[in-house]
Amino acid sequence: MTDGEFRARKIDTGKRKYWENEEIRSKKIYSGIKKYEENEIYRDNMIHAGIQKYQEDENYRDTLIDYGIHKYQEDEDYRKALIQSGIEKYKDDNEYREKLKQASIHKYEADKYANDDAHRIKIKQQTSVRRESLQEENKQISEVIRKFKDEVKKGPECVCACCLRLFFEKQVQICKKDSYDNSIFDSVTTNKYEHKCTDDCKTNCAFEGTCRTSLWICYTCHRKMLKGKIPADSFSNSLLLEDVPVELKRLNSIEQQLIAQNIPFMKIMALPKGGQKGVHGPVVCVPSDLKKVTSILPRSEDESLLLKVKLKRKLNYKGYDKYQFVRPNHLEQALLYLKDQNIWYKDVTINNEWINPIPELDDNQVVNE
DNA sequence: CAAGTTTACGGTGACTTAGG
DNA sequence: CCTAAGTCACCGTAAACTTG
């Protein structure tokens, strides 16, 4: 038996004894109380550990608070003592007194709106005047344009923590976890797009002062979560775009075409304004015969083999559309990946017999030549 | 195509905060 | 204290979008 096991067993039997034997329990409690009273260091340690646990352990804190509330309601002596100590503290502790006073003023102000009719009407009046003047201001088209330009000055840079869409700052708000039901918040949001400075950041972090340092939430997701529902557009609804795996990412355009099952043809035009491009007319997908690539393409044991490939629009044309190097090794890796991950590729067979070994030359031969 | 659903957004009352 | 400005939740609605 190891020391650890022995210790664990000792603790276990000790615990069992404590709970099963009433006499031992009362003795233990009594000696604990006595030690607490007599031993100053022990007392300090206990108090310190208690405070720390209170601060760190949410459950412990909640149960203690619950216990306190319960005791306050049930135990008259405790209640009286607490009230008395409150009075004392108010007398002696300046800071506490000020804090209480402020809270009281605050409460008065808060209740005033509900209780004082005249005050309420006044506030409403003020609000409506304020909003009317704003409306008046917005009748000036130049003012509206100025405001609009101001709002879109920065461009859509804010990422919603839930649907991960890009928004203008006006369309989002700071995402506060406390506003929502805890049970869904963690699963439907991510702080992937919130930049937190680490040691890697230079003294002037590039993100400093930009919207990337905050976590945002768009109003649509915000409202859905307030109702305790999962926002439809949340990335967690299997809407997350995964990173393109390296096997596919490293393919150049001609390599991509060689292993594509369908090659789409479309007419892309520059739209009149804004520098965007648009698809004009229908998109035609032409099925491509993969067998030619998997069986005919020369392959070699040498992983760094490069092939020059010309892509023609038609075989008997002289000219070509694309002329690039193709890395058969990368093609094979990509096909193996797709065979494994993509159901449309599961029947693809790679011809392993078509291997062209490069004849090995020994050094003497090379020298002689 | 009509009916239903969702989204964006302005309007409103009820607070809260900043600053004198 | 007070005022002005800001914030928040909620509601209604036009427009966009989906469904049958």
Query: Are the C-beta atoms of residues A137 and A143 closer than 8 Å to each other?
Result: yes
Which nt is closest to the CA of A121, judged by C1'? B13
Rounded, the Å distance between the CA of A233 and C1' of B5 is 15
Question: For chain A, what is the total number of helices (H) and then of strands (E)?
Answer: 15, 8
Which nt is closest to the CA of A222, judged by C1'? C9
Beta bridge partners of A159: A166
- For the record, the structure tokens of A102 come out as 């402020």
Rounded, the Å distance between the CA of A105 and C1' of C1 is 10
**Per-residue pLDDT, A72:** 82
A147 CB closer than 7 A to any strand B atom: no
Rounded, the Å distance between the CA of A27 and C1' of B14 is 59
Query: Are the C-beta atoms of residues A218 and A172 closer than 8 Å to each other?
Result: yes
Nearest to A258 by CA among A223, A301, A299, A220: A299
Helix/strand/coil for A287: strand
d(CA A303, CA A342) in angstroms, rounded, equals: 24
A218 CB closer than 7 A to any strand B atom: yes
**Per-residue pLDDT, A107:** 63
**Per-residue pLDDT, A251:** 92
A108 CB closer than 7 A to any strand B atom: no
Nucleotides of B under 7 A from a protein CB: 6-9, 11-17
Residue A146, number of CB atoms within 10 A of its CB: 11
Which nt is closest to the CA of A108, judged by C1'? C1
Helix/strand/coil for A326: strand
Strand A322-326 with A307-311, pairing = antiparallel
Task: Give the list of residues 6+ apart from residue A73 with CB closer than 8 angstroms, or none.
Answer: A79
Beta bridge partners of A160: A216
pLDDT tens, per residue, chain A with 369 residues:
567 677 777 777 777 777 777 777 788 788 878 888 888 888 888 888 888 888 777 778 777 887 888 888 888 888 888 888 878 877 777 777 766 766 666 666 666 767 777 777 777 777 777 777 777 776 676 777 776 676 666 767 778 888 787 777 777 777 777 667 667 777 788 888 887 777 777 677 777 767 777 778 877 777 777 767 777 777 777 667 678 899 999 999 889 888 888 887 777 777 665 566 666 777 777 888 888 777 777 776 677 788 888 888 888 888 888 888 988 888 888 999 999 988 888 888 877 766 655 555 555 555 554
Cα dihedral A183, A188, A194, A197 sign: positive
Query: Are the C-beta atoms of residues A331 and A296 closer than 8 Å to each other?
Result: no
Query: Are the C-beta atoms of residues A335 and A342 closer than 8 Å to each other?
Result: no
Q: What are phi and psi of A338, to 5 degrees?
A: -65, -40
Which nt is closest to the CA of A131, judged by C1'? B11
Query: Are the C-beta atoms of residues A256 and A335 closer than 8 Å to each other?
Result: no
Query: Are the C-beta atoms of residues A239 and A162 closer than 8 Å to each other?
Result: no
A232 CB closer than 7 A to any strand B atom: yes
Nucleotides of C under 7 A from a protein CB: 3-6, 8-10
d(CA A298, CA A359) in angstroms, rounded, equals: 15
d(CA A265, CA A268) in angstroms, rounded, equals: 9
Strand A262-270 with A277-287, pairing = antiparallel
d(CA A196, CA A20) in angstroms, rounded, equals: 52
The pTM of the full predicted model, rounded to 2 decimals, is: 0.51
Beta bridge partners of A310: A323
Which nt is closest to the CA of A226, judged by C1'? C9
3-state helix, strand, coil in chain A (%, to 5): 55, 10, 35
**Per-residue pLDDT, A353:** 66
Nearest to A190 by CA among A200, A181, A201, A177: A177
Rounded, the Å distance between the CA of A86 and C1' of B4 is 60
Helix/strand/coil for A113: helix
